[in-house]
Structure 1
């Protein structure tokens, strides 16, 4: 299989020269375009998720040798979650080379966090199968490296912090409600209100995932009650 110009450019951005180009093609193929002769990237995504997790866990241990398991776990989750994988995918232009069916292309699939994150994990697996763990590890550390320094800050979860605060005050879990939703499916805009048992409310709005706007609403409430760390 001959490497197209756009895939050659993408491989250069990855920093990996594929011996088996079919692995890269499969990693970039979404289920909307799969067929009996064109397998999609779901199995590779499963494998890539594990390679990424092991690499980042090892890097976090080496980066902060005094950190406890309780400190390391949320940092790991922050670095390997789908949103982070999607951010990395955008940085290297992965969406531009994804192979999608017409329906996904029409609904903005190249910009969807879920598709980008899954494809990023599949690409990791493709590198692993093509050249082994050390090659995959080197690529991951090159792409994720700058985020290791900020892992502790990224690990802070406003929703978790707010729920723990509410429970400490004898309240039930905060209630999140979508007050407004607009925009296309690939870039929805939410306005979300969070309410505590004592009647206090805070809200946030923006374009992105529902989860991210809920986090922003939780941050607004933490600021309101003076609990931002």
Structure 2
């Protein structure tokens, strides 16, 4: 039996981190954790409680009430991946809306939020055999991960992918708004004081601007096999 490793995938928004991470986890029989979904769920809670909107943000209220937030992943056999639950309610679809996307980077700058979620993520991965994607997996959550990837692509390519994804889902979206959202999230994620988005020194940078899913998967699986 092969040893189990930890695979940390970081990178900019809409680079397909979750897609490739799900494929890897399924192929390897590993646990997959979408940390972005966790931050989105906290953001959704803050929106529901009116702690945050496009016009205001009250981080103190959010921090005071963090203890009321329970996050969990439950595997959906029909879909083949685990869905995000917020306080025992399935929020997988709701957290993917553009409304949540506009606000999630602001919530992710709050140190107390990051501390809570990083602790939960480390607990999930303590036995290895996990694929986790996010912004600070290789730099903070799993500094000793056996394989670290940093996904990147041009802002235009990422916005186009996100636009098509939301259109296919039936959402009413505007490409210019999507592009602005991608660029703004890049700015906030890369400049926040607590755990900014940066490539770990030992991470392999992976630009998939002009790469299909199969080529991506094959190339990354070869990297995985080198470490097993």
More contact order relative to length (CA 8 Å, sep ≥ 6): 2
Do they superpose with TM above 0.5?
no
TM-score by length of 2: 0.22
Larger radius of gyration: 1
Report which of the two has the higher share of helix: 1
Report which of the two has the higher share of strand: 2
